[in-house]
Every structure is written in structure tokens, then in C-alpha cells.
Amino acid sequence: MKKILTIFGTRPEAIKMAPLISELQKSSEINCMVCVTGQHREMLYQVLDLFEIVPDHDLMVMTDGQTLSELTAKIILSLPPIIEDFKPDAILVHGDTTSTLAASLSGYYQQIPVLHIEAGLRTDNIYSPWPEEINRRVVSTIAQYHFAPTAQAKSNLLKEGIPEERIGVTGNTVIDALFMILNRISDSPSIEKNLQKNFKFLDSGKKLLLVTGHRRENFGEGFQNICFALKELASERSDIEILYPVHLNPNVLSPVKEIIGTTSNIHLIEPQDYLSFAYLMNRSEIILTDSGGIQEEAPSLGKPVLVLRDNTERPEALAAGTVLLVGTDRVKIIKHVNNLLDNPRVYESMSQATNPYGDGYASKKILNTILQSIWKKQ
């Protein structure tokens, strides 16, 4: 039996890794160990509990105010005893977080093959997103196999000299996770009733704008501009209400509370567990976000996404017409929200576009590739 050590540390990683971990743990050919770094705490465990994942190890590395250098060093120093004891045949990492970078380096230092999920995303700007763009480039150099979510991601890797036989196009596991949760809601009237009760303050007669934001490059003036745009929209339009689950980082929380904390038709709530957030995405009219994962998920629900960034490592969504870049420019945000709300043709062109990120079977494809291609060649 082959051994795989999965290592991740943030809420988005946990969501995207959960359906794959489920497939790995069901396989009779794989012994799967789960190690979380604790790069996120409460938000990470919300997801783990939802998907019934119990980590074998928790590095608990996050402390207030630590630098990226400190975080990276802690993870690299904490992993060797776990790797040496388990002796995995491969280390599985996801995406572009600091946890992913550090786990990949640890695997490389111990000469353990690294398999990279969601490989090949690029903006070609090392400072946007920061530090994610460099993280994923370094991981691509280390990884022995690359699971690209799209043909474009594969093309990016080929341009960097990665051999084609070490790349597989699978779709994105976040679609698997989303469908798992929506099926759970639809299959359980009690869950749906509880969700409706939890958000009974929302007015069903108004169009819901769902907002999220957490990117470091938007700290400061960026988040201030976003908040001013939301405040103006809320003041000018009586047909909408805005729901904003606010990230706990003080760089996000402080400007949000200061600028829009008392606006009557803007609801500021705590970060939601994934079950609740999937419900809210499905209920919304438009989503404004700087999240990468939401750019992938929302099109499966027919929800237009306005991306609060100046660039994106998901050009497939731009090409498909499911998302639109608006950055943190107050005027652009207001203009495009109003255009979607007031122009049915514009709204339909985005909401009915085909999601380029897969069909909900990415995890099964990844498992089959590991068993049938990667290890059969060894």
C-alpha cells in the first residue's frame, strides 16, 4: 500500500482538498495521512468539521503578527519528524499558500516526490497576488507531477519547460466540494430550514450582493475604496442589500467597520462556514470578491462575479465571460454593479456562460492518475 501525506493550512485549501481526501481515504490502495499547518485556525476547522476530516497532525503555527518568513520557517522546521516517521511515497499539496511552499520545500529536502494540485496558475506579476505568485512558481519547480485545473494552466506549465507527461488536466476540486455541499443541503430539509432561519434578516424582495475580501495587495487604500463603493451603492439603490462576511484580519476588519459599519442595508457578519457560504452564494444575485476559489465556484451557480483585483490567475473565467475584473476602483465597481442590475442582457451573458473549471469529478480524475499513471510508471 502506497502512502500519501497531504499537507495544507488554510480554509480555501481545506475546501479544495476535502473531496480529494475523501477519495484517497476510500481507496484500498492508499494510506492517506492528513497534516494541517494551522495557517488558519477557526476558519480551517470549520471546513474540517463540515467535511468530517480529522487531521493526524496539526502544526499550530499561526500566531498574531508573525511575518511570512517566520511562518515559512516554522512549517519547514515542524515537518521533518512527521515525514521521517510516516515515510510517505508522495506529499500532496495544493495551490499557492505559504503552507504549500513550505511543505513542498520540506518534501524536496527529504527527497519525497511532491504532487501539486491546482498547478499552473499564473499572473506573470510576482507581486500580484503577493506572495502567492512566487509560491506557486517555486512549487512548480519542485513538483514531480502537476494536476492542472484547465488547459490554460497546462499551457503555462509547458511554457516553463515542464514535460507534458508530468501534467494532467483534471478540472478544479472546488467544484467537487461545492456540489457535495449543495447536495447535502438539498437532501436535508432540516439543514435548509436552519439556513433560512440563520439568515432570516435578509429581505427576499431585494437583490442580494455578496461580498468577500482578504487579499494582502488590497490592504489599505484598496479596501477603503471597496468600502466607499459599497456604501454609495447601498445609499443609492433601495432594491439591493449587501451581505459581507468580514475576514478577521484587522487590515480588513478595521476599514470595513469604520466606513460601512452603520449603513442600514449592508449587513456585516462573521466569516461563515462553507455550508452557509455555499447557501449564500446560491441565494445571491451578484458576487464581489478578491477570492480565487469563488471565481471558480460561482459560475456553476450562474452567479456573475466582479473580481476586486487588477489581474487574475484565472484567465479562463475572463475568456468564458463568467467574471469581470473591476479592481478596487470605486467608480468601476459602482458602474459594473449597476450595469448588471439594470441590464438583463448583460446579466444573462455572464450568468449563463459555461463554467470552465470542471464538472465535479476532478478528485476522481486525480486519484485515477495517481494510481494508473504516476505509480504504475515507477
Q: Provide the residue ranges of all domains of the chain, joining segments of one domain with +.
A: 2-172+359-374, 189-351
Per-residue pLDDT tens over the stretch 303-342:
999 999 998 888 899 999 999 999 999 999 999 999 999 9
| The one-letter amino acid at 92 | L
247 is catalytic: yes
For the beta carbon of residue 241, count every other beta carbon within 10 angstroms.
Answer: 20
89, 132, 176, 285: which is the annotated catalytic residue?
Answer: 132
The pTM score is: 0.86
137 is catalytic: no
316 is catalytic: no
b/e for 56-94, b at 16 or more Cβ within 10 A?
A: ebbbebbeeeeeeeebbebbeebbeebbeebebbbbbbb
40, 136, 146, 247: which is the annotated catalytic residue?
Answer: 247
pLDDT exceeds cutoff 70 at 377: no
Mean pLDDT, rounded, for 47-51: 93
214, 237, 309, 314: which is the annotated catalytic residue?
Answer: 214
Of 41, 83, 91, 45, which Cα lies nearest the Cα of 66? 41
Per-residue pLDDT tens over the stretch 125-148:
999 889 999 999 999 999 999 999
> Going edge to edge, which strands form the sheet with 2-8?
57-58, 30-36, 2-8, 90-94, 114-117, 145-148, 167-169
CATH architecture of the domain with range 2-172+359-374? 3-Layer(aba) Sandwich (3.40)
User: What is the homologous superfamily of the domain 189-351 according to CATH?
Assistant: Glycogen Phosphorylase B; (3.40.50.2000)
Are both 2-172+359-374 and 189-351 of the same fold? Answer: yes
118 is catalytic: yes
b/e for 33-55, b at 16 or more Cβ within 10 A?
A: bbbbbbbbbebbbbbbebbebeb
